[in-house]
């Protein structure tokens, strides 16, 4: 109901005092589980828009033509229950019009279909399955009128930590876009008293919540889905706890265990790790290692489209790390390659600026295995802690993933999550192979 009220009221909230200016945004993100009714509710919101908001243009766009048609079919079912009088003319396969000038149309997943629209309400169902180019085009099709706020609604289950829905939820949280989230416990049927909680497979997750429920999802169906799926898939698709980790490189990474406030400790050796980039980001990590071998990543610097001299000034002068305190800076071996135009290399330029660089050639898989071992070794211990200041690295640890299909065994080089991980790899590869970089007292 919070979602429905937001959809309906966003066009009236700014006019509560009689003003004709609209002050609220109609955008929202809906994160709900499989069978949670998000498509049905979006169809109800579409009916409300078309009946109560004259000249409101609503478009339905989904990750598949079948999914878009499903929302439209729900709308037609509502119309047949006493709302036929609001229609203007016959109902078509993918479009219908209303006597007040409003209309609804199903869009296809094509650039021509999306870019040719200028409408007030765009409902994107199963947005996790969108083609990214289509999604980018869809962001520019809404247009407010004097009485209706332009709104783009994004509805989906969050399947992957590196997917579209994950990005939208993160951006929505930072910019104040409403997020409406619900899971199986909001839609499950009431659990009768004759069912035993102690014998129910759902008990560890339910904890009696179904006793107070009044939904429609059958308990036995939910149990069957849980038994035929993996735990990770059930948590992702039904409980909406987290995205599935089945394709993530560092599934061992746990924010509660591996993220903690860290400050620079002058008594510990200080290292840096660098991955070079220009269009793709230049990344520098500041790292310390304590006597127990725990790797502590205390700060990060991530910047694109800047020259090496700019990066050199930043990493040398960043408070509270002075250049004299840095025991070694490990980097990408490819940075030693000489550019045909400039006749120099990033490694040479940083060394000229006084940055002590070291590098060792290694395979990607070798570095990944060393990072994994630090996250959780064979005896179950963890030797890696990341400061909350390192937001880009934390995001990369959660989202660095393998390609969706094919025989490729290496993680995807997506230009987003791979660069902070590459810098981290260079630290582990060099630190674990270099005795001279360790600090000792005699």
Q: What mean pLDDT do residues 65-80 have?
A: 94
**What's the CA gap between 344 and 334, in Å, rounded?**
13
Q: What is the mean pLDDT of residues 233-259?
A: 88
Q: Is the pLDDT of residue 368 over 50?
A: yes
Check whether residue 388 and residue 424 sit in a common domain.
Answer: yes
Residues 218 and 130 in one domain: no
Give the neighbor-by-neighbor strand order of the sheet with 28-32. Answer: 95-97, 103-106, 57-62, 121-125, 151-156, 28-32, 179-182
Examine the domain organization and report whether 210 and 279 are in the same domain. no
Q: Are 104 and 213 in the same domain?
A: no
- 102 neighbors 95 (Cβ within 8 angstroms): no
Q: What are phi and psi of 119, to 5 degrees?
A: -135, 175
Q: How many separate domains does the chain show?
A: 3
Report the distance separating Cα 38 and Cα 44, nearest Å: 10
Q: Are residues 147 and 33 in the same domain?
A: yes
210 belongs to a structural domain:
yes
pLDDT on residue 23: 44
- pLDDT mean over 309-323: 88
pLDDT bucket at 115, cuts 50 / 70 / 90: confident
Q: State whether 369 and 270 are in the same domain.
A: yes
What three-state secondary structure class fits 85? helix
Prediction pTM value: 0.73
264 within some domain: yes
Tens digits of residue pLDDT in 280-299 = 999 999 999 999 999 999 99
Share of the chain above pLDDT 70, in %: 94
What percent of the chain lies above the pLDDT cut of 90?
Answer: 67
Structure-token pair, residue 257? 């265990």
Q: Are residues 432 and 304 in the same domain?
A: yes
pLDDT for 232 equals: 80
Q: Backbone phi, then psi, for 271, in 5-degree steps?
A: -125, 160
Q: Are residues 211 and 283 in the same domain?
A: no
Low-confidence winner among 111-125, 208-222, 252-266, 334-348 (lowest mean pLDDT): 334-348
Same domain, yes or no, for 225 and 136? Answer: no
Position 18 in a domain: no
3-state secondary structure (DSSP) of residue 34: coil
In a domain, 248, yes or no: no
Nearest to 266 by CA among 192, 202, 343, 324: 324
pLDDT at 292: 92
Label residue 21 by pLDDT band (50, 70, 90).
Answer: very low
Quote the tokens at residue 370. Answer: 């060393």
Mean pLDDT value across the chain: 89
Decide if 442 is inside a domain: no
What's the rounded mean pLDDT across residues 126-140?
92
pLDDT above 70 (res 22): no
Report for 111-115, 231-235, 275-279: range of highest mean pLDDT: 275-279
Of residues 166 and 54, more confidence is placed in 54
Indicate which CATH number applies to the domain containing 364: 3.30.420.280
pLDDT score of 415: 86
Considering the domain architecture, whether residues 79 and 159 belong to the same structural domain is answered as: yes
Which has the higher per-residue pLDDT, 374 or 322?
374
Please indicate, yes or no, whether residues 74 and 206 belong to a single structural domain of this protein: no
Mean pLDDT for 17-29 is: 61
| 246 in any annotated domain | no
Q: Which H or E element spans position 40?
A: helix 38-52
121-125 and 57-62 as β-strands: parallel, antiparallel, unpaired? parallel
Is residue 142 within 8 Å of residue 112, measured between CB atoms? no
The whole-number average pLDDT for the span 332-338 is 87
On whether the CB atoms of residues 14 and 21 are closer than 8 A, the answer is: yes
C-beta separation of 398 from 253 below 8 A = yes
Q: Tell which of 182, 211, 246 closes a domain.
A: 182
Q: Are residues 294 and 384 in the same domain?
A: yes
**What is the Cα–Cα distance from 127 to 73, expressed in whole angstroms?**
19
Structural domain containing residue 227: 184-237
Distance CA(341)–CA(167), nearest Å, equals 38
Whether residue 425 is predicted with pLDDT greater than 90 in this model: the reply is: yes
Domain contains 215: yes
Q: What is the pLDDT of residue 441?
A: 58
Question: What CATH number did the domain enclosing 82 receive?
Answer: 3.40.50.300
In a domain, 243, yes or no: no
Q: Is the pLDDT assigned to residue 337 strictly greater than 90?
A: no
């Amino acid at each position: 109901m919070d979602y429905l009220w937001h959809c309906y009221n966003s066009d009236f909230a700014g006019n509560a005092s009689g003003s004709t200016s609209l002050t609220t945004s109609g955008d929202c993100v809906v994160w709900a589980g499989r069978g949670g009714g998000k498509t049905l509710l979006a169809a109800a919101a579409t009916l409300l828009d078309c009946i109560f908001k004259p000249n409101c243009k609503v478009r339905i766009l989904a990750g598949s033509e079948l999914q878009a048609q499903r929302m439209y079919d729900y709308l037609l079912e509502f119309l047949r229950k006493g709302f036929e009088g609001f229609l203007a003319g016959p109902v078509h396969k993918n479009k219908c019009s209303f006597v007040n000038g409003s209309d609804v149309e199903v869009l296809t997943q094509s650039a021509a279909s999306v870019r040719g629209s200028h409408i007030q309400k765009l409902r994107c169902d199963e947005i996790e399955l969108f083609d990214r180019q289509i999604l980018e085009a869809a962001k520019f099709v809404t247009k407010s009128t004097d009485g209706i706020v332009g709104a783009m609604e994004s509805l989906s289950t969050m399947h992957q930590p590196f997917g579209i829905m994950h990005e939208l939820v993160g951006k929505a949280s930072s910019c104040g876009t409403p997020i409406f989230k619900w899971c199986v416990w909001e839609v499950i049927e009431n659990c009768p008293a004759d069912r035993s909680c102690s014998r129910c497979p759902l008990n560890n997750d339910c904890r009696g919540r179904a006793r107070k429920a009044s939904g429609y999802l059958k308990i036995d169906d939910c149990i069957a889905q849980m038994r035929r799926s993996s735990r990770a898939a059930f948590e992702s698709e039904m409980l909406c706890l987290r995205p599935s980790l089945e394709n993530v490189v560092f599934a061992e990474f746990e924010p509660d265990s591996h993220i903690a406030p860290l400050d620079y400790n002058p008594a510990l050796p200080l290292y840096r790790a660098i991955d070079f980039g220009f269009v793709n980001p230049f990344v520098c990590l500041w790292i310390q290692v304590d006597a127990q071998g725990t790797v502590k990543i205390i700060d990060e610097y991530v910047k694109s489209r800047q020259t090496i001299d700019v990066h050199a000034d930043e990493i040398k002068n960043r408070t509270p790390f002075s250049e004299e305190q840095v025991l070694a800076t490990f980097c990408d071996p490819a940075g030693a390659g000489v550019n045909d135009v400039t006749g120099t290399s990033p490694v040479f330029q940083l060394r000229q600026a006084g940055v002590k660089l070291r590098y060792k050639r290694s395979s990607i898989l070798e570095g990944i295995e060393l990072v994994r071992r630090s996250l959780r070794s064979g005896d179950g211990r963890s030797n890696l802690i990341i400061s909350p200041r390192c937001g880009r690295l934390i995001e990369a640890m959660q989202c660095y993933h393998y390609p969706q299909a094919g025989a490729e065994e290496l993680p995807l080089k997506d230009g987003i999550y791979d660069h902070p991980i590459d810098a981290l790899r260079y630290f582990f590869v060099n630190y674990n192979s270099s005795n001279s970089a360790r600090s000792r007292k005699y």
